[in-house]
Amino acid sequence: MTQTNKSKGAKKSNSHKRKVSMDDAPQSEEGTTTAPDTFELPEVDTTKEIV
């Protein structure tokens, strides 16, 4: 049961990271300070979903 949960979490993490990287591309061009900030926000969301 734990393996299924981990598998789903990993898949969701990849999807979120891919969407964030696309949104980060244009934002990072405007300001490098926004790139790291946006990256930290989604990471916290993924951890909450995994739990």
Give the tens place of pLDDT for each residue, 1-51.
Answer: 565 556 565 555 555 555 555 555 555 455 555 555 555 555 556 666 666
Please say whether the beta carbons of 20 and 42 come within 8 A: yes
Residue 3 pLDDT: 59
Q: How far apart are CA 47 and CA 18, in angstroms?
A: 16
Residue 46 pLDDT: 60
Domain ranges of the chain: 2-50
Give the tens place of pLDDT for each residue, 25-35.
Answer: 555 455 555 55
**pTM: predicted TM-score of the whole model, two decimal places:** 0.13
